[in-house]
């Protein structure tokens, strides 16, 4: 069995895979990573693990993890099932590397746009020749709410993901309309631009805001909150067959 670990800003998502099948999913506080991984290893017979460490954990904890399990740490040097044509490949986020690996393995010979809607919204495009061309990075929904609150004197901090009206009739409704409609229109506009340029485009939506955003689009989208974890598993599988 494979263990995939995705370290975020405050929490960790981890999954156990048997082949392609996700057996168990775990979400826990980043500060508890060692104790929680120990629990997982006691529950399952893990042969190898992989970690995507976006929000860095301490070197001490990384050494502890290496002692617990055969651990692959994703980096720009990791062997992946695609050709990286990013102009600065060493700056490409490890989360984005995992997402593209998942796209190539799960949608072979397809043009794929992966949209990860989390703290930031990232767009990553890989063509039908398994060539990663790049993408875009934008502000996530919560970050937009926080920016309006932090950089103004009187606007409140909101977190809602419920979109009701186009026209806000008070300050709260106006913020919600501006942020949520803004994100939806931004994503739809980018999707439209890619569809005009690349035929037979497959769109994957993942990240923390997947459930809300997937309901806003008419076009066919593969919505999968665990796509990054699956991408990490694909990297391990690719490594096994090299």
**Distance between CA 71 and CA 127 in Å, rounded?**
30
- 95: annotated binding-site residue? yes
Q: Which element (helix H / strand E) includes 196?
A: helix 182-197
Instruction: Please tell me which residue in 20, 70, 95, 209 is annotated as part of the active site.
Output: 95
Classified as helix, coil or strand, 156 is coil
- 116: annotated binding-site residue? yes
- 86: annotated binding-site residue? yes
If you write DSSP's letter for every residue of 135-147 in order, what string do you get? EEEEE-HHHHHHH
**Distance between CA 234 and CA 5 in Å, rounded?**
13
- 93: annotated binding-site residue? yes
**Distance between CA 110 and CA 51 in Å, rounded?**
26
- 183: annotated binding-site residue? no
Buried b (16+ CB within 10 A) or exposed e, 1-30: ebbbbbbbeebbbbbbbeeeeeeeebebee
- 8: annotated binding-site residue? yes
**Distance between CA 167 and CA 143 in Å, rounded?**
22
- 94: annotated binding-site residue? yes
- 12: annotated binding-site residue? yes
98 CB neighbour count, 10 Å cutoff: 29
- 31: annotated binding-site residue? no
- 84: annotated binding-site residue? no
CA angle 155, 156, 162 (to 5 degrees): 115
Residue from 14, 58, 46 nearest 228 by CA: 14
- 13: annotated binding-site residue? yes
Can 124 be counted among the known catalytic residues? no
- 152: annotated binding-site residue? no
- 135: annotated binding-site residue? no
Which residues fall in the annotated binding site?
6-13, 86, 93-96, 116, 119, 171
Active-site positions read 95
Which residues fall in the annotated binding site for K(+)?
116
Which residues fall in the annotated binding site for substrate?
86, 93-96, 171
Which residues fall in the annotated binding site for ATP?
6-13, 119
């Amino acid at each position: 069995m494979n263990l995939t670990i995705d370290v975020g800003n405050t929490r960790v998502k981890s999954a156990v895979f048997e082949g392609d099948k996700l057996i168990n999913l775990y979400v826990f506080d980043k500060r508890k990573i060692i104790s929680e991984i120990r629990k997982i290893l006691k529950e399952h017979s893990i042969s190898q693990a992989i970690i995507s460490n976006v929000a860095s954990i301490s070197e001490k904890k990384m050494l502890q993890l290496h002692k617990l399990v055969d651990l692959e740490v994703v980096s720009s040097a990791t062997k992946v099932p695609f050709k990286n044509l990013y102009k600065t490949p060493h700056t490409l986020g490890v989360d984005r590397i995992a997402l593209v690996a998942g796209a190539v393995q799960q949608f072979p010979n397809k043009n794929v746009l992966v949209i990860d809607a989390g703290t930031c919204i990232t767009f990553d495009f890989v063509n039908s020749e398994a060539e990663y061309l790049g993408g875009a990075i934008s502000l996530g929904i919560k970050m937009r709410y926080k920016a309006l609150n932090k950089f103004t004197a009187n606007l409140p901090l909101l977190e809602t993901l419920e979109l009701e009206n186009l026209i806000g009739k008070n300050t709260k409704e106006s913020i919600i309309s501006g942020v949520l409609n803004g994100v939806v229109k931004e994503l739809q506009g980018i999707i439209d631009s890619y569809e005009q340029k690349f035929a037979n485009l497959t769109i994957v939506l993942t990240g923390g805001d997947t459930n809300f955003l997937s309901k806003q689009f008419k076009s066919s989208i593969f919505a999968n909150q665990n796509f990054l974890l699956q991408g990490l598993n694909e990297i391990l599988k690719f490594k096994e067959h090299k």
